[in-house]
Amino acid sequence: MPDDIAHTIQLALAPSFLLTAISAILSLLTGRLGRAVDRARWIEQHYAPKGDPRHDYQVAQLRLIDRRMLYANMALVLCAISAMLVCIVIAGLFLGQMFHVVVAQSMSAAFILAMLLLIAGLGLFLVEVRLAVVATRIQDELLERE
């Protein structure tokens, strides 16, 4: 019995490290989402009226920021669900061991789904980063014109 528990702990160790990595990703995404929200609020506070040369630029920036927030939020949701599935895998491994239930297929499926959600979340993160770079380039181009 103690050997079985030790083996289960060994099996659960890798997913536990994965949780640490996902939590770092969630922290990063939360920070990026917060910065986008702060930038949108700043633009809204300094919003130029129609006819002002800055107005069109601000509208374009707000649209880009809105898209960034959408992708960052979707990435956060997918990564959070991925982390929850990893937790389910860890708990399932221990529950299967405690109650002598074969859970290999269901835990494998949950882990694969967690990885697919993490991949999708990271893909959305890349899209959000790309949008941020585009927004920065637009800003740089406008500064060069002045």
The confidence score (pLDDT) of residue 140 equals: 62
Q: What is the mean pLDDT of residues 17-34?
A: 96
- Asked if pLDDT for residue 120 goes beyond 90, the answer is yes
The mean predicted confidence, pLDDT, of the chain is 91
Distance CA 115, CA 11 (A): 17
Distance CA 39, CA 26 (A): 20
Distance CA 46, CA 132 (A): 20
pLDDT band at 5 (very low <50, low <70, confident <90, very high): confident
The confidence score (pLDDT) of residue 53 equals: 83
- Asked if pLDDT for residue 146 goes beyond 60, the answer is no
Burial of 89 (0-12, 13-18, 19+ CB in 10 A): buried
The confidence score (pLDDT) of residue 122 equals: 98
pTM of the full structure: 0.87
Q: Assign 37 to helix, strand or coil.
A: helix
Q: What is the mean pLDDT of residues 113-133?
A: 97
Tens-digit pLDDT profile for residues 55-98: 888 999 999 999 999 999 999 999 999 999 999 999 999 899 88
